[in-house]
Structure 1
Amino acid sequence: MDAENVEVRKNYIVLNIANKTSKQLYDESIKFINKNYKNPDEVIKGKTEGEYLKFVTYAPHFINVKNGLAKVPFNVEYTTELSFKDGRVKYEIIDLRIFNDSNYTLNITGGGISFFIFNKKGELKKEETKIDIENYFNKNISILSDFLKGENSENW
């Protein structure tokens, strides 16, 4: 994704989608969910036509976290909130839960025997995990952005 089409602001990003109204961006986002989710009506948790859309994503085996010599698969469930203005979409993750099949969670910060990315002092302890999470979300944001721009051509 090129930097001119994305602005990072605090804990959200703004996708710049030229020449589309807020209503068009909302409608395209609904199409995106309908196309990419098995049960779109179940994942949509809130919506205001042309202004706002909230949906939940579950991804099994989201990442593998190194634990000693083994890699432990983790799932993710997160809530995405999209807000629409002419030519722009605010993309924000408002809830994030990363967990494994044994119900251990992966926390951003922590200590002791739990899984965590940064220790309590803010030192990065699982760089590969941090990168994997960033890559997952960057890829998904790019896919959504391309779809909203109409760059999701299908040759069939």
Structure 2
Amino acid sequence: MKKILSIMLLCLAYLFSNAQHFELTEKGLVSLKDKDAKFIVIEKEGKSQKELYDQIKNFIMSSFVSPKDVISENGTDMITLNGVSNGDVECKKGFVMLPFKTNYTIVFMFKDGKIRINIPTINKMTSESTTLGGDLSGLYELTLTKDDPVSTGREQIVVFKKDGKTTKGAKESIEKLFNTLIDKAINFTSTAKEEW
């Protein structure tokens, strides 16, 4: 009986460890709680505005190769993250899963005890494929629908097809990218205070 209870607790802990904040629709990412909302609010009781600002800034500084190139700040009120993710988004093309470079923007705002996170904006998702010999064989752009614009010279791959289905892997990997990124940011703890 104790084993079954332990297994159930582990399963619940796993389910709640990766909170789901966003869902992908044909119009972009939306809040799971309110599909019309322009932002979500994360409650962080007992934390000051400055502490929450420092938490998100430290997360960005420790998570990105060149943080100064992806961060814009407005005092301790707001941080804008203009990030690029390589390969976290992928979808099926033919017999392979193509990895995409995803350019996105997320705005964080801070008050005592609260972090406001504007719904992330996906600016562009692009990919290249090569032959076994290393030659370029295709340029691709992943868009949400067929009506979305595509860069010149790139073949369009859509997430949401006209028949209501989605391209394999695309929707799930986009949601996972942003939900995981936000979860890591809001739960980040700095290791700067560790003795070494």
Asked whether the two chains share a fold, i.e. TM above 0.5, the reply is: yes
1:115 is the counterpart of 2:157: yes
Q: Paired residue for 1:141, among 172, 182, 189?
A: 182
Paired residue for 2:151? none
Q: Is the 8 A contact 2:42 2:114 kept in 1?
A: yes
Q: Deviations over 1:92-135 (max 9, x none)?
A: 31343111125421111117x621111357x2322532111111
Paired residue for 2:88? 62
Offset at residue 56 of structure 1 (A): 1.5
CA 1:15–1:135 in structure 2 vs 1: closer, same or farther (change >3 Å)?
same
C-alpha RMSD over aligned residues: 3.1
Q: Which amino acid aligns with 2:45?
A: A
Paired residue for 1:20? 47
In structure 1, what is the Cα distance between the partners aligned to 2:57 and 2:63? 10
Q: Deviations over 1:31-87 (max 9, x none)?
A: 11111122221111x311221111221121222211122222211111111111221
Bigger shift: residues 62-71 or 137-146 = 62-71
Question: Residue 119 of structure 1: SS of its match in structure 2?
Answer: coil
Gaps of 5+ in 2: 1-15, 22-30, 129-137, 148-154
Q: Which amino acid aligns with 2:187?
A: D
Larger radius of gyration: 2
In structure 2, what is the Cα distance between the partners aligned to 1:74 and 1:3? 22
Paired residue for 1:48? 74
Q: Equivalent residues in 2 for 1:54-93 (5 A)?
A: 54-92=80-118, 93=120
Matched positions, count: 151
Give me the TM-score of the superposition, normalised by structure 2. Answer: 0.65
Task: Name the structure where strand makes up a greater proportion of residues.
Answer: 1
